[in-house]
Structure 1
């Protein structure tokens, strides 16, 4: 990967800027992340990778634009995509800079509560706001094109039935990939069949969801505003965002209290949370293997056993 300073001509052409400094910053495990210092004292954020990674950066830019459109003025802060494309051998995405504080102590409780409420507002407002890449706001679940969850393909398209969409476009591709890779999970077909049955009478609104809302993709800025970033957007059950926020921890309870106060979740959401998070565990198993395979099998066994003990219906 060339030093990012070699991207200066591309930045001048795309944005009319010439950074006076590049500083590597912490980020995800896929791309290199940089702080761009400009001559006027302002900053921008950039991600770089090899040219083959351009589709990943393009879908991220599209997702951020969609979230910003749904958030409006009262929703969470979302970084703005400013430019993306190929600069020689490098794929580049330039975003507005977020001065993150990220604190999760009790002192930041009010800010996290506000972020929870703001996410609820984004979900609700997305039902009537047209997002980038969409030609209509309707009743279907999905997204106009496939994107990615981490570095793994995320199958989209449209489906008017949520349970079928979640089984066929989320769980099934992950389980199929594990099987093709030589690590099939027990009772995978049974799980897919039962999951469709469990969701048969659940009819959520097709909200725009972040899609990858773990604690590393949300923070509080130095100014005290809640922000979200690095999405894997689609239209789905809003509960998927709240579910993943609990999967790996890191979100204060104030976040969930703020969401619940703004838009309470319906009954049955605790079991659905475990089902929805199976998707992310399967994704981690496909990406990283290791202990995630055992976690997936344990989660599947638990889901099947719980519903058998409870008669298979929603509580």
Structure 2
């Protein structure tokens, strides 16, 4: 195993209070933004993320989100042990958890009940005290009193602006502009509340720990409509049917969720278009057309 550099070891020790002298690194696959490692120090494992020093704001935002989720106590959340930079590297040091995917109906039930509990943590306004990131893209969280205006101004409009800057404006076209104007009409009879959200709840950010407790990580936290987390969980699949049944039993969904789900997932598809390119353009166009037709 490779060893930690002296500079990084000193920085980790200074922020965490843990002795990393002689610590060893083992690379862990799976991340597409940061490099991930298991660090063995003093006979104990820790989870370490590394990136260029310029990525420190991403780690700071992640640490902030993890702390917010941990404060609710609905889920097991990796404890933040250190965050900072050393030379040309930024780092985030986390508690190491032994994780496994959600595999059984019981896993799904526990996760669904935990998510409903998280969403019952409600604030007074939509947004968050700081901006953060959705993947590698910035996520604006300016506080709003109204959900529809927040979703237009802080979610859809910034992603559409990025898409047009990348040359996709002609493809997305008039349907996008019309949608921004008509989104408030979707919320005339539906009342959102500012629930605490994970913000990026796909199955890769969800797991069970060795004791069978539901775990979430890699958040993009803010306060918004609880349905956005559920919608994101459906976008790429991977959650047991029991998860959705348990959530709806704990907190039933209002009429019109299927239409709102398309709206909410448009944000994530546009984000993937901006992160990964044209492969997501057709899906974004179809979602825009569906919503435009429904709102005429």
Give the structure-1-normalised TM-score: 0.88
2:196 aligned with 1:222: no
- C-alpha deviation, 1:201, in angstroms: 3.2
Shift of 1:27: 3.2
Q: Does 1:192 align with 2:180?
A: yes
> What stretches of structure 1 of length at least 5 have no aligned partner?
128-136, 309-315
Residues 1:23 and 2:26 aligned together: yes
Residues matched between the structures, number: 289
Is the contact between residue 142 and residue 236 of structure 1 (CA under 8 Å) also seen in structure 2?
yes
Counterpart in the other structure of 1:171: 156
Question: Does 2:253 correspond to 1:265?
Answer: yes
Report what 2:44 is aligned to: 42
Alignment correspondent of 1:131: none
Distance 1:4 1:199 in 2: 52
**Cross-structure match for 1:59:** 61
Provide the C-alpha distance between the structure 2 equivalents of 1:49 and 1:202, rounded to a whole number of angstroms. 42
Using the size of structure 2 for normalisation, the TM-score is: 0.93
Contact 1:163 1:200 (C-alpha < 8 Å) held by counterparts: no
Once residues 241 and 53 of structure 2 are traced to their aligned partners in structure 1, the CA distance between those partners, rounded to angstroms, is 40
> Which residue matches 1:12?
13
For residue 306 of structure 1, report the CA deviation from its aligned partner.
Answer: 3.1
Q: Helix, strand or coil: the match of 1:267?
A: coil
1:77-127, Cα deviation, whole Å (9 max, x unpaired): 1111111001121100001111011142xxx22022101101111111x22
- Trace 1:86-165 onto structure 2 (pairs within 5 A): 86-104=85-103, 108-124=104-120, 126-127=121-122, 137-138=123-124, 140-165=125-150
Q: Is the 8 A contact 1:52 1:91 kept in 2?
A: yes
Tell me the SS of whatever aligns to 2:281. Answer: helix
Distance 1:285 1:52 in 2: 23
Matches of 1:198 and 1:12, distance apart in 2:
51
- The answer to whether the Cα contact below 8 Å between 2:3 and 2:24 also exists between their aligned partners in 1 is no
1:291 pairs with 2:279: yes
1:50-95 Cα deviation digits (max 9, x unpaired): 100000000000000011112x2xx111111111001121100001
Which structure 2 segments of 5+ residues have no match? none
Distance 2:81 2:197 in 1: 22
Q: Give distance in 1, aligned partners of 2:127 and 2:93.
A: 26
- Tell me, in whole angstroms, the C-alpha distance in 2 between the residues paired with 1:112 and 1:267: 23
Alignment correspondent of 2:294? 306
